[in-house]
Amino acid sequence: MNRLAEIVARRRSDICAERRCVPIETLYSMLAERTSHRPLASALGRLLPTIIAEIKRASPTAGAIDLVCDAGAVAHAYERGGACAVSVLTEPHCFGGSFADLARVRAATALPVLCKDFVVDDFQLWKAAAFGADALLLIVGALEQPQLTRFLALASSLDLETLVEVYDEREAERALAAGARLVGVNNRNLATLRVDRSTVLRLRGMLPSDCIVVAESGYRDPGHLRQAMAAGVNAFLIGESLMRTSDREQAVRRLRGVPACCA
């Protein structure tokens, strides 16, 4: 079994337990109190490069990164540094995430909030919306095509934008066929966990010009971003390199090339 399949199998088990503990009616009630939607796609068209800064406490490749951080404080630092949105990992076992983190980030920042999980069940879409997400990650490699299409429709009905993540040409074709127009290209092969930043450079050419492309994984310095921007990729989802620094505000500024005195 590859690493993606392992994580997905565990999430299925988690959700079975969560359904018993959290009635769907509770999520309906929470959703009724949700505050206004913060558009992600329009935020990605602002000052370039645009960065979705991620709160990632741990990962399968890096192990523990920062297990005790204050998610709200991190999100606020990202916002001050010029991030256009905040991504929150909510998978608990490999990434140390939680929906409590998602709620804290929503309360701490005015930026759009992306819920990043391994979505395999309708319940996760309802939960993401109820806890304040503006957008949700859908991983093509974890879903059959009918599921992908159904989740896109359900997300739209819940006022959740969708970042549809692909790794190769076949997955990109599936994403477009399902109607995705906000596409994340993951440079990390989720089966092997290897990173190759040329992945997004290869796939950008096959994606329509009206498709917003977000490059994911492997970005640590401005030179990495400049290479992708030369190929027409202007939006980036960056987590580990930001989480490893003590000054996260300045780390975002550095990646964006924004001098502290100009902010």
Determine which one of 79, 87, 116, 249 is catalytic: 116
**DSSP bridge partners of 52:** 85, 237
- 93-132: string of b/e by CB count within 10 Å (b at 16+)? ebbbbbbebbbbbbebbebbbbbbbbbbbebbbbbbbbbb
Query: What are the residues whose beta carbons fall under 8 Å from the beta carbon of 137, sequence distance 6 or more?
Result: 87, 114, 115, 116, 117, 119, 162, 163, 165, 184
Of the candidates 109, 115, 216, 99, the one whose C-alpha atom is nearest the C-alpha of residue 161 is: 115
**DSSP bridge partners of 215:** 185, 236
What separation in angstroms does the CA of 124 have from each of 5, 24, 156? 17, 10, 14
Determine whether 56 is an active site residue: yes
Determine which one of 54, 79, 161, 171 is catalytic: 54
Contact 240, 66 (CB under 8 A): no
> What is the SS3 assignment for 54?
strand
Determine which one of 165, 189, 234, 249 is catalytic: 165
Determine which one of 59, 187, 189, 217 is catalytic: 217
What six digits make up the tokens of 111? 């930026």
Determine whether 127 is an active site residue: no
Determine whether 54 is an active site residue: yes
DSSP state of 195: B
Determine whether 156 is an active site residue: no
Determine which one of 56, 171, 187, 249 is catalytic: 56
Determine which one of 59, 186, 189, 234 is catalytic: 186
Determine whether 91 is an active site residue: no
Contact 244, 220 (CB under 8 A): no
Determine which one of 79, 91, 216, 249 is catalytic: 216
Known catalytic residues are 54, 56, 116, 165, 186, 216-217
